[in-house]
Structure 1
Amino acid sequence: MTWATQAKQYEQALINDLNQIIRIPSVLDVKTQTPQTPFGIDMIRALSQMEAFASRDGFRYGRVDNMVTWIEFGPQDAIETVGILTHIDVVPAGDGWLRPAFNPEILDGLYFGRGAADMKADLMSAYYAIKMLADQNRLLKRKIRLIIGTDEENGWRDIPRYIEQEGEPTLGFSPDGAFPVINGEKAFQTVQLRFPSISNGTYILERFISGNRPNVVPGEAKARIQVPHGVNLVQDFDNFLQQQPFLNGDAQQIGQTVKLSLLGVQAHGAYPADGKNAGTYLAHFLSHYDLGGDARAFLDFVGITIHQDVYAHGLGLAYQDAQMGDLTLNVGVMRYSNHGQGTILLNFRYPQGVNLQAVITQVQRHLNGLQATVNQVQAGMPPHLVPVEDELVRVLSDVYAKQTGQYLPPRTSNGGSYARLLKRGVAFGGQFPDLKVTSHQANENIPVVNLTKTMAIFAESLWRLCQ
């Protein structure tokens, strides 16, 4: 019996457990943050649910500072460990869902729900891969640890804490990327621009807001503008939308006050070309009007200099490495409040050959009148690369080729997975090639058949890595 055939027998049980995890809205919640619930109460609920599964199935498990749960199978005294680094937190649901984001559904062979693609389904496929090995009483030489974090979508404060207390696995993978093996990950760094926001001119920008996370392409933007007497901005906005059929929006004008709302296409910030940035499009529309002062500089920078510029040509940062690919830019957060302070968060993904200081310097050189201070946000991560000759890369590549009938060479990703926290760590699954990426998007989904297909690949990979 093949690995895939064996895994298929677990499909309904896997779906049932996945449903329970998807229903928990494990989004960072500052309102319920305490020393006992460092990222909010729903994160604790999600970890507790995974521990309930582990208890039910007879696995060893533990928790680190209410940030990480680990689940273990294999010889307890084994010197070496194969780690599977995952996370159970998700980004906010956002707008545009056809059905409730935290009420999982299967429609036309697709499993829908926030976290289906990133990465609760792959977490459960990994869990069930371990369960299948345990059910078959497989004897391992290395032990396996499924390591479940709760802060991947925000500050990465969880897995470093785990490694500090529990130690670093000998080698491992994170099913938070794509197949085949991703042995290289670009650096990622968020840069913050802070600037005064005083508007003057014929038109006055009162407020502009778009985006919630630097690693998400904003799907919505809103603005409030004061316009001169007799100006009908609503008609201009309607004409703009007609010229951009991939955008939707709404305009309301009462007297001289205009409220604009624009819907673009939300996407993962690692792949900004997959989205349509609502914030930069709205800024581009407004940049054609007589707004002065800081509003002028803000709209020119966001709406012209970096609008539709995912490779950062406008910042003088266009760069490509032969092994790791292009530098990319996502404009993740835009805020402007008249007589307040404005903020822009730029999320960069860059290969070896680029460094943070070069990024900051180039941003400073291309502000074009925007009186902004430029600083990094948090620590970021340097580029990460595991040689293709490493046992880990060789085994995972071979298993994928064997089970799919197609060999694909290891590659580099724009995404950042927890695998980069291990010296010998790679991203591996569960996005299959040629499948549309729906991570961080409305109506996030994966094909149901991929649940056990991924599970089978993980199971054989773990088996071989533990021999």
Structure 2
Amino acid sequence: MKEQKMKHEIKRRIDQYLEQTEKQMLDGIKRSVQIQSVKGEPSKEAPFGEGPRLALLDALKQADELGFKTENLDSRIGFAEYGAGEEMVAVLGHLDVVPAIGEWTHDPFCAEIYDGMLYGRGVLDDKGPVIGALYALAAVRHSGVDLKRRIRVIMGTDEESGSSCVAYYKERKQELPVAGFTPDACFPVIFCEKGCLVFEIGCELSKETLGRLQKFRGGTAPNVVMEEFEIHMLTEGGSCSMYKKGRSAHAAAPSLGINAGVAAAKELAQVRLAPEIDDMMRFIADYIGDETQGKGLGIDHTDEETGCVSVNLGILGIREGRAYLTLDIRYPNNADPEWIKKEVERKASSRNLEIQSIRHSPLMYLSKESALIKTLMNVYEQEMGAGAKPVAIGGGTYAKSFSNMAAFGPLFPGQKDCIHQPDEQAEVELLKKAVRMMAYAMAELAQAEEVNEWM
């Protein structure tokens, strides 16, 4: 009974602090969203471009203003820390964002609040949760809870392009957390993230084709459904021009979008432009098409617990005399990534295309009965009620960066998922609730007796 009263008092103090600093926190989130932290031209001072560097500097400054110890690891990744103890638990988030493409009704980098909704690129993925995590950490400090280990909020700047920032953190021999979570997905808690294979597939273009192909471009990133595609090519009888408009969506759920590259390929596969371009268009039309579960490629696989394969055509373009495309393929538990690689290579070869590179992010799976999942589920159920279950997702989060981490928030069940889409938005009241949940989870993880068996 005494322990329950103490937990209630800790929560009351956390809630009190977050209520008192609500405006300050929202202003801090706005400040971060207003920085256009899309990956850009690298330099010695800004390895991922000036935007991500400025976003990290701003977040560390906000942490400094809250009174935390901070560290900047060469403008790639940084952290804020509180507490004492030999062990450390972490909250891992990112400050880089995908491009703000598409038709927005609110300026993506203005961070307006309209009718209770905060609009802007990054308000959900992942600047809102990251800045919120700093205030959650301050609330834990304010609560006076007795912690057995330190809490670190780690902030990366290259998650959307491969998470090389976390690789750098590890290369620098930085301390690894004994447990933690990333607020980069949804509640109640993610027990499985599908594996992800990103293929770059292409072919060399002849001098004649290069001379006639004046425009051939579409897409912004492998993990975004291609929203626009454009081609302009001179032909013997004149020219071929085409522009296709689709609808963007995250590659974790490509069926929610309309792929402009696929739409174009289905038409272009019926005409003859140049052998290399014809092969690429037939590859897309024959083996990818409108369905998104890999049936055309012969890699469709479904796991009852963790879902099915998904395939997204992300980019079409020309680089260094080669035409290329990217495929983002997510696979569930019990699917063999080596089998997927072989099948994709076989299909590409049948259309005279070569695999130029493969980037692999392995599947992340934690037992639903593990102590880490149960602890985070308990935090969620105490606030939202029983009945929810841990979920599997197609999206990859920072949780894959560490072996003892799960994704926890910020989206609640039923909340509109507009991550990577135009008019990215967060309901202010739900964002505040997510920050409270993060604070409760930080306190639980940092005061637990043992974490050695949490996997």
TM-score (norm 1): 0.87
CA RMSD of aligned residues (A): 2.3
Report Cα offsets for 1:305-329 as digits up to 9, x if no partner.
Answer: 2021211100000001233221111
1:222 maps to: 230
- Identity, % of aligned positions: 30
Report Cα offsets for 1:170-213 as digits up to 9, x if no partner.
Answer: 00001111111102111111111121346999xx8654211121
Determine the C-alpha separation between the residues in 2 that align with 1:199 and 1:372.
Answer: 17
Determine the C-alpha separation between the residues in 2 that align with 1:88 and 1:134.
Answer: 23
Q: In structure 2, the residue corresponding to 1:446 is in which secondary structure? A: strand
Q: In structure 2, the residue corresponding to 1:92 is in which secondary structure? A: coil
Q: In structure 2, the residue corresponding to 1:224 is in which secondary structure? A: strand
Shift of 1:219: 1.1
Determine the C-alpha separation between the residues in 2 that align with 1:406 and 1:107.
Answer: 32
Shift of 1:226: 4.3
Out of 37, 41, 51, the residue aligned to residue 50 of structure 2 is 41
2:121 maps to: 114
Structure 1 position 266 matched with structure 2 position 248: yes
Task: Tell me, yes or no, if the aligned pair for 2:199 and 2:328 is still in contact at 8 Å.
Answer: yes
Structure 1 position 454 matched with structure 2 position 434: yes
2:194 maps to: 186
Task: Tell me, yes or no, if the aligned pair for 1:101 and 1:113 is still in contact at 8 Å.
Answer: yes
Determine the C-alpha separation between the residues in 2 that align with 1:105 and 1:455.
Answer: 19
Shift of 1:123: 1.0
Q: In structure 2, the residue corresponding to 1:314 is in which secondary structure? A: coil
**Which residues of structure 1 form unaligned runs of 5+?**
230-255
Shift of 1:335: 2.1
Task: Tell me, yes or no, if the aligned pair for 1:43 and 1:89 is still in contact at 8 Å.
Answer: yes
- Specify whether residues 402 and 360 from structure 1 end up closer, same or farther in structure 2 by C-alpha distance, changes over 3 A only: same
Q: In structure 1, the residue corresponding to 2:296 is in which secondary structure? A: helix
Task: Tell me, yes or no, if the aligned pair for 1:199 and 1:292 is still in contact at 8 Å.
Answer: no
Q: In structure 2, the residue corresponding to 1:153 is in which secondary structure? A: helix
Task: Tell me, yes or no, if the aligned pair for 1:199 and 1:206 is still in contact at 8 Å.
Answer: no
- Amino acid corresponding to residue 88 of structure 1 in structure 2: L
Shift of 1:93: 1.4
- Amino acid corresponding to residue 100 of structure 2 in structure 1: A
2:74 maps to: 65
Structure 1 position 19 matched with structure 2 position 1: no
- Amino acid corresponding to residue 50 of structure 2 in structure 1: I
Report Cα offsets for 1:122-170 as digits up to 9, x if no partner.
Answer: 1122121111112233331121100000110113111122134212100
TM-score (norm 2): 0.89
Out of 338, 342, 349, the residue aligned to residue 361 of structure 1 is 342
Report Cα offsets for 1:6-34 as digits up to 9, x if no partner.
Answer: 3344322211000110011111111xx22
Determine the C-alpha separation between the residues in 2 that align with 1:460 and 1:80.
Answer: 19
Determine the C-alpha separation between the residues in 2 that align with 1:9 and 1:296.
Answer: 62
2:136 maps to: 129
Structure 1 position 412 matched with structure 2 position 392: yes
Once the two structures are overlaid, the 10-residue window that deviates more, 36-45 or 271-280, is 36-45
1:241 maps to: none
Report Cα offsets for 1:381-438 as digits up to 9, x if no partner.
Answer: 2111122222221111011111112431112111111111222110110011122211
Determine the C-alpha separation between the residues in 2 that align with 1:310 and 1:39.
Answer: 31
- Specify whether residues 167 and 388 from structure 1 end up closer, same or farther in structure 2 by C-alpha distance, changes over 3 A only: same
Out of 325, 335, 339, the residue aligned to residue 307 of structure 2 is 325
- Amino acid corresponding to residue 23 of structure 2 in structure 1: Q
Task: Tell me, yes or no, if the aligned pair for 2:280 and 2:353 is still in contact at 8 Å.
Answer: no
- Amino acid corresponding to residue 391 of structure 1 in structure 2: A
Determine the C-alpha separation between the residues in 1 that align with 2:113 and 2:253.
Answer: 26
Report Cα offsets for 1:246-279 as digits up to 9, x if no partner.
Answer: xxxxxxxxxx445332221111112111111111
Determine the C-alpha separation between the residues in 1 that align with 2:394 and 2:44.
Answer: 33
1:400 maps to: 380
Structure 1 position 89 matched with structure 2 position 109: no
Shift of 1:336: 5.4
Report Cα offsets for 1:342-401 as digits up to 9, x if no partner.
Answer: 1011111112333333222111222374211114334x2211112222222111101111
Determine the C-alpha separation between the residues in 1 that align with 2:162 and 2:363.
Answer: 17
Q: In structure 1, the residue corresponding to 2:322 is in which secondary structure? A: strand
Report Cα offsets for 1:208-237 as digits up to 9, x if no partner.
Answer: 2111211111111111144686xxxxxxxx
Task: Tell me, yes or no, if the aligned pair for 1:111 and 1:446 is still in contact at 8 Å.
Answer: yes
Task: Tell me, yes or no, if the aligned pair for 2:93 and 2:126 is still in contact at 8 Å.
Answer: yes
Determine the C-alpha separation between the residues in 2 that align with 1:452 and 1:175.
Answer: 13
1:163 maps to: 170
Task: Tell me, yes or no, if the aligned pair for 2:201 and 2:348 is still in contact at 8 Å.
Answer: no
Map 1:309-324 → 2, pairs under 5 A: 309-324=291-306
Map 1:185-334 → 2, pairs under 5 A: 185-197=193-205, 207-226=215-234, 256-291=238-273, 293-334=275-316
Determine the C-alpha separation between the residues in 2 that align with 1:47 and 1:200.
Answer: 46
- Structure 1 outlier segments of 4+, above 6 Å: none
Task: Tell me how many residue pairs correspond in the alignment.
Answer: 433
Determine the C-alpha separation between the residues in 1 that align with 2:291 and 2:205.
Answer: 24
Determine the C-alpha separation between the residues in 1 that align with 2:63 and 2:146.
Answer: 19
- Amino acid corresponding to residue 379 of structure 2 in structure 1: V
Task: Tell me, yes or no, if the aligned pair for 2:180 and 2:445 is still in contact at 8 Å.
Answer: no
2:415 maps to: 435
